[in-house]
A and B are shown apart, each in its own frame.
With several copies, the nearest count.
Chain A
Amino acid sequence: MTILIHSETKMVVQGLGRDGSFQASKCKSYGTPIVSAVHPGRGGLYFEDSVPIFDSVEESVDTTGANLGLIFVPAPFALDAIIEQVDSGIENIVCITEGIPVQDMTKVMSYIEGKKVRLIGPNCPGFICPKENFKAGIIPSEIVSSGPVGVVSRSGTLTYEAIVQLTNLGIGQSACIGIGGDPIHGTSFVDTLRMFEEDNDTKIIVMIGEIGGLREQHAAEYIKSNVSKPVVACIVGQTAPSGRRMGHAGAIVTGKSALAQEKIKVLKSSGAIIAESPTEIGYVIKEILK
């Protein structure tokens, strides 16, 4: 088993709207053990004729033993959903939802501080473990393949870009995880690096960062003293102007340290191998694996 899951991991999907249903279906057909879904008002019904739907997470956990939650509920209700999952004892929560108000996320983060719970996201594509055919999120399973590379990224489609390159070059992935584009978020680069470092299936790590914040700097510090495996890092947004938000709420240059160049510099000095552009990630990895 690779990171984040174990043989007893059972997923509950919360929020069966258009995207939620579509993506849950994809996760299920990929092989993910979805034991239940939660959608208020649809309790008693079944998702795809086989997965029981509950009105509340608590009922779902009590009845099906779900221990990993995947959240698709719209932004205005996301704080409620995340805390409902925390209060119900879910230990790993993946929140795909985009556009959650920052203050809601600061409350969530303060609330879970000290509690035994891991939040991935929000505004992220979730994660996928090809070897175990386990997918909690929206990363297209068609592009992944099983292998030694752990991929972590702040972005969604950009991650796919990297995965496609790897797969096309015949290089598989141990796990791919998107930690999300919001400035206030759960699992960090550092958390993921730690997991990949400890994971036997992962031999090499790809980290795709971007402008804004200090996440990459924290990662660099961690890599320097704690990561023995090779890390290939790439930072996008080198051409983004200062003070304008590049889509992701977290992708905004607000000071020197938020610049791509600055991040590349510290990552380089931490021992990470820099891929100048995401288009080069595959080739850099191939070179290392030679």
Chain B
Amino acid sequence: MQIHEFQAKNIFKEYGIPVPEGEIANNPQEAISVMEKLNSKVVVKAQVHSGGRGKVGGVKLAENSDDVFRFSSEMIGRKLVTNQTAGNGLPVNKVLIEKVTEIETELYLAVTMDYESGSPVVIISTEGGMEIETIAEKNPEKILKIFGDPLLELLPYKIRKLFEKLNIEPSLYKQFSSIILKVYKIFVEKDCSLIEINPLVISNEKFIALDAKISIEEDALFRQTKIQDLFDSTQIDPLELEALKYDLSYVKLYDGDVGCMVNGAGLAMATMDITVKAGTKPANFLDVGGSADQNKIKKAFEIITEDSDVKVILVNLFGGILRCDIAAQGIIEALKDKKEYPSIIGVFRGTNSEEAKRILTDSKIKLIFAEDLIDAAKKIKEIE
């Protein structure tokens, strides 16, 4: 789960990581008051769950109150499309107004989980302000890493090693080490999947986190109750939001038209692959999970049919704990009041699959059965 920059910065403040002075504004009028309060040139930053805002007008320097009014008016209420957003971009509901910081040195700092070593990793680069992917491609030697130990705090000797490679004024070591330890602490205590400060700058011999990105691991949200409250549903595709409510693993894909409903993540991926092999493109990834009940299947099917991009629906269910007949009922429920819906191809195997086919045949739903995925691929081709 992502949170906004201003929320991340609030957490930073709580842990004692220096951030620029600033406040959130919900409208241009508030933006002006914040600027007056700060009594300085400010930066206006659109609050959306995406990086790359600067390049598309989501971060602007305001010299005076006219600027701040204009920029926040332009941002608030609009959608921001960056190189990281999918679909039509993300709505800006708030802007963060911050005092301008003089920048002497820019660093990139991140903590994330390194799956290879099974440890948190601190990543730092002197190429602050650039996207880490770009640095990794062009100057991989400029990316430095130290690894934590899941059972120990982050040890100072590792931070020292990192610092020595950075060519930063030795007098700043204490500040540096303190920031690394605090970011690491947030990462661990808040069950983060990523904390990114890009850039972390040095300004007048002080480190300041100019930007802040925090993602929380979904699987750990149950114990991060405070973070749960920071959830902003406006930053998520409405269908994905709906799926989230029903604990469905759904990912909207913006360039396809075959809606897929599958049980199991691996099988769902294989199903997507098959649609491509058939010369079409999947409109989504959707795993209903191992033990979905009728209601969950109904909801899943509704989400697919509500997606206007979807022209064909491919259902691929392998009954295990999930009973195919129950699933069939869910599909029937979902289509009960619908007069028009896309063509449906269904593969039903495993527990009670014959029963499912009988139920679906008895219903008035137009559904083409397929024996297996190969057969399904063939039938998709025939339809398109």
Binding site for B on A (CB under 8 A): 19, 22-23, 40-41, 43, 55-58, 75-77, 79-81, 83-84, 98-107, 109-111, 138, 140, 142-143, 153-161, 164, 181, 183-184, 208, 210-211, 213-214, 236-241, 244-251, 255, 277-279
Contacts and interface: CB of A to CB of B under 8 A. Distances in A.
Given A56-B157, A208-B266, A248-B265, A103 B191 contact: yes
A250 B115 contact: yes
Contacts of B119: 106
B57 interface: no
A137 to B, nearest CB: 11
Contacts of A239: 269, 272-273, 275-276, 281-282
Contact of A278 (B155, B157, B270, B350): B270
Nearest to A18: B291
B72 interface: no
Contacts of A183: 113, 115
A210 B223 contact: no
A181 B149 contact: no
9 contacts: A19-B321, A57-B157, A110-B150, A111-B152, A157-B318, A160-B320, A181-B266, A213-B115, A249-B219
A123 to B, nearest CB: 9
Contact of A155 (B136, B267, B276, B277): B267
Interface in B167-191: 170, 188, 191
B249 interface: yes
Contacts of A143: 350
A202 B89 CA distance: 52
A83 B151 CA distance: 13
A247 B265 contact: yes
Interface residues of B, number: 60
Contact of A279 (B160, B170, B263, B374): B374
B265 A43 contact: no
B30 to A, nearest CB: 33
Nearest to A245: B251
A43 B115 CA distance: 33
B161 A58 contact: yes
Contacts of A155: 264-267, 269
Given A80-B155, A279-B372, A248 B161 contact: no
Given A101-B217, A110-B150, A158-B266, A76 B223 contact: yes
A251 B287 CA distance: 13
A161 B266 CA distance: 10
Interface string B146-160: 000111100111001
Contact of A251 (B156, B269, B274): B269
B151 to A, nearest CB: 5
A103 B150 contact: yes
Given A153-B266, A158-B270, A247-B249, A140 B351 contact: yes
A110 B118 contact: yes
A77 B291 CA distance: 20
A278 B347 CA distance: 15
Contacts of A22: 321
Given A107-B151, A246-B251, A102 B265 contact: no
A223 B173 CA distance: 46
Contacts of B277: 277
A189 to B, nearest CB: 14
Contact of A154 (B160, B222, B266, B287): B266
A102 B170 CA distance: 32
For the complex of A and B, the 3 pairs showing the least CB-CB separation, nearest first, are A155-B266, A247-B265, A157-B264
B122 to A, nearest CB: 15
Contact of B151 (A102, A110, A138, A184): A110
Contacts of B282: 239
B285 interface: yes
B220 A103 contact: yes
B239 interface: no
A244 B170 CA distance: 40
A141 B321 CA distance: 12
B265 A251 contact: yes
Given A41-B170, A80-B156, A160 B270 contact: no
Contact of B373 (A43, A79, A142, A161): A161
A44 B278 CA distance: 57
Given A81-B157, A101-B220, A155-B266, 16 more contacts: A57-B157, A77-B156, A101-B191, A106-B118, A107-B150, A110-B151, A111-B152, A138-B320, A138-B321, A159-B266, A160-B318, A181-B265, A210-B266, A240-B272, A248-B265, A279-B373
Contacts of B373: 161, 277-279
Nearest to A249: B219
Given A41-B170, A107-B152, A138-B321, A248 B266 contact: yes
A156 B222 contact: no
A110 B350 contact: no
Given A103-B191, A143-B350, A109 B150 contact: yes
Nearest to A211: B269
Nearest to A184: B118
Which residue of B118, B265, B268, B349 has the most chain A CB atoms within 10 A of its CB atom?
B265
Contact of B220 (A102, A107, A154, A157): A102
Contact of B219 (A75, A107, A241): A75
Contacts of B269: 155, 158, 210-211, 236-237, 239-240, 246-247, 251
Which residue of A22, A81, A238 has the most chain B CB atoms within 10 A of its CB atom?
A238
B164 A157 contact: no
Interface in B343-384: 349-351, 372-374, 377
B253 interface: yes
Contacts of A110: 118, 149-151
Nearest to B253: A241
A81 B188 CA distance: 21
A252 to B, nearest CB: 10
Contacts of A181: 265-266
Contacts of B372: 279
A228 to B, nearest CB: 27
Given A138-B320, A158-B266, A214-B116, A55 B160 contact: yes
